[in-house]
Structure formats: structure tokens, C-alpha cells
């Protein structure tokens, strides 16, 4: 899958989240981690928005925590990016 964002954003992720980008994050719906990252970078700043764009978290929900963590890391890494949830806003 093509990475269509500034790869420097990945530097903001913890090492564990930078691994296995091409492997499925959501095994129920076979959604690769990089597809979830692309959705977040493209503006999906909630689990619900990621779900609508990628179908991740729609199965058993076992990947929800990883999706939340990616949102937390990537939204704080993108200056000027709108943060929908106060949970992810570190400025308050």
C-alpha cells in the first residue's frame, strides 16, 4: 500500500506502532495498519471516522485500542490538525 503522507509523522509513533505497517491491524476485516494511518492523516480523528473509512474495529473490536493509540499519536504529531475529541487534545 502506498504511503501518501509525510513519512516524518511516523517518527512521532512509539517504536511498537511503527512496526509491521503492511500487516493487518484489524484481522477481522483485513485492514492493514498503514490504511488506518492513512485514514487518520487524511482527517479521521475518531475511531468512528476510521471505522467509516476503513472498516477497522467493525468485527470483534479487538483492534480498537490500537486505533485509539494511533489517533492519539498522529493527531498530536500533526500541527494545526483539528482534534475532534478532548481526549486527544494535549493543549487543554
Confidence band of 91 (pLDDT split at 50, 70, 90): very low
CB-count burial class (<10 Å; 0-12, 13-18, 19+) for 22: exposed
pLDDT band at 10 (very low <50, low <70, confident <90, very high): confident
- Among 72, 28, 73, 74, which Cα is nearest to 51's? 28
What are the residue ranges of helices labelled H in the chain?
A: 15-18, 33-41, 47-54, 64-77
CATH number of the domain encompassing residue 70: 1.10.10.1100
Q: In this predicted structure, what is the pLDDT of residue 92? A: 38
Q: How many domains does the chain have?
A: 1
Inside any domain, residue 1: no
- pLDDT per residue over 25-36, tens digit each? 999 999 999 999
Residue 32 belongs to a domain: yes
Q: pTM of the entire structure?
A: 0.76
pLDDT at 73: 92
Containing domain of residue 60, as a range? 7-78
Q: Which helix (H) or strand (E) holds 25?
A: strand 24-26
pLDDT in tens, 34-88: 999 999 999 999 999 999 999 999 999 999 999 999 999 998 855 544 433 334 3
- Cα-based distances in Å from 56 to 37, 65, 89: 11, 11, 23
- Position 5 scores a pLDDT of 56
Has residue 89 been placed in a domain?
A: no
Instruction: Answer whether residue 65 is part of any domain.
Output: yes
Amino acid at each position: 500500500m502506498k504511503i501518501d503522507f509525510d513519512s516524518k509523522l511516523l517518527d512521532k509513533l512509539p517504536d511498537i506502532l511503527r512496526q509491521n505497517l503492511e500487516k493487518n491491524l484489524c484481522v477481522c476485516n483485513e485492514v492493514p495498519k498503514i490504511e488506518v494511518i492513512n485514514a487518520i492523516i487524511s482527517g479521521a480523528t475518531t475511531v468512528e471516522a476510521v471505522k467509516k473509512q476503513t472498516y477497522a474495529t467493525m468485527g470483534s473490536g479487538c483492534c480498537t485500542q490500537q486505533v485509539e493509540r494511533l489517533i492519539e499519536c498522529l493527531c498530536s504529531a500533526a500541527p494545526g490538525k483539528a482534534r475532534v475529541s478532548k481526549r486527544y487534545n494535549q493543549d487543554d
